Amino acid sequence: MKYIIFNWKSYLNLKESENLSNIISKIKKSKNYKIISAPNNFFLLSLVKKFKANTFAAQNFDLDGRGASTGSLDISHLIENNIKYTLIGHSEMRSNHGETDKIVHKKLELSIENKLIPIVCIGESLKVYKSKKTKNFLNSQIKTIFKKSHKYDEIILAYEPLWSIGTGLTPDLSEINDICKYLSNILEKYSFKKINILYGGSVNLSNVSDILNLQFIDGVLVGSASTKTPFINYFK
């Protein structure tokens, strides 16, 4: 089964999010795909209540967000409303809000404590990619985020090269498969009950089939393309 995660970011208003959620609700359950939607957090609760058969993820939550923390979303708010998944460490949280691998580690631990399934995002910059140090960089991220002494339950790891997100540029298919094979190999040194490796970065209708057919890919994390009806209908 392949994981298909729609990250709608802040592209959609509530009505548009409802329209897409309605389309998804009519897609028959399949052994081939598990569809998870990550709408803007402001609309998340409304959508969860209205589309009970759909699976949703939070785009983010804040550490120590409960109490005197204006504008924050605490993890308890997700638990209380039966949210099962959350993105952690997305590139835009890193670049726009200063989220570091150490913060991602803390969020990972908090997610696990609260029985949320984390979708952990990692990826290299264009500078790292051009210097051919991608694997070393990703290994460093994993060492900071995960601990070999811990036993993890279900984790989703999304490899999203920063230089590919929203640019229309993607690594060659062979590069994507090679990186995800590398990640699979180094993650064997850690204790996971279940680990799935996804690719994210300018995934669209023209390349999604080829990406999903790669040997070491367990799914895709999709941004702007997932806000388009034809892309969603591909998974019917």
pTM above 0.75, yes or no: yes
Asked whether residue 181 is assigned to any structural domain, the reply reads yes
Q: Return the CATH number at 101.
A: 3.20.20.70
Indicate if the pLDDT at residue 8 is higher than 90. yes
Asked whether residue 8 is assigned to any structural domain, the reply reads yes
From 90, 92, 105, 124, the catalytic residue: 90
Range with the lowest mean pLDDT among 27-31, 215-219, 230-234?
A: 27-31
Asked whether residue 32 is assigned to any structural domain, the reply reads no
Report how far residue 209's alpha carbon sits from residue 231's, in angstroms, rounded to the nearest whole number. 11
Residue 76 in 3-state DSSP? helix
Is 160 annotated in the active site?
Answer: yes
Number of helices (H), then strands (E), belonging to the chain: the values are 10, 8
Buried-state track 164-175, b at ≥16 Cβ within 10 A, e below 16: bbeeeebbeeee
Asked whether residue 33 is assigned to any structural domain, the reply reads no
The dihedral of CA 185, 3, 17, 204: what is its sign? positive
Report how far residue 29's alpha carbon sits from residue 9's, in angstroms, rounded to the nearest whole number. 24
Report how far residue 156's alpha carbon sits from residue 127's, in angstroms, rounded to the nearest whole number. 26
Report how far residue 192's alpha carbon sits from residue 187's, in angstroms, rounded to the nearest whole number. 8
Residue pair 211/179 in contact by the 8 Å Cβ criterion = no
For residue 87, give Cα distances in angstroms to 68, 75, 116, 127: 24, 12, 10, 25
Number of neighbouring beta carbons within 10 Å of residue 214: 16
Tens digit of pLDDT for each residue in 50-88?
999 999 999 999 997 677 667 678 899 899 999 999 999
Asked whether residue 110 is assigned to any structural domain, the reply reads yes
Report phi then psi at 148, rounded to 5. -65, -20
Question: In the chain, how many domains are there?
Answer: 1
Asked whether residue 198 is assigned to any structural domain, the reply reads yes
Tens digit of pLDDT for each residue in 171-229?
999 999 999 999 999 999 999 999 999 999 999 999 999 999 999 999 999 999 999 99
From 92, 99, 124, 160, the catalytic residue: 160
Long-range contacts of 168-173 (CB under 8 A, 24+ apart): 168/202, 169/202, 170/201, 170/202, 170/203, 170/207, 171/201, 173/210, 173/211, 173/214
CA atoms within 13 A on the CB side of 33: 23
Asked whether residue 43 is assigned to any structural domain, the reply reads no
Residue pair 158/120 in contact by the 8 Å Cβ criterion = yes
Is 97 annotated in the active site?
Answer: no
Q: Quick one: pLDDT at residue 68? A: 66
Tens digit of pLDDT for each residue in 101-122?
999 999 999 999 999 999 999 9
Report how far residue 135's alpha carbon sits from residue 178's, in angstroms, rounded to the nearest whole number. 10
The domain in which residue 171 lies consists of 2-23+56-233
Two tokens, residue 197: 């490796």
Asked whether residue 39 is assigned to any structural domain, the reply reads no
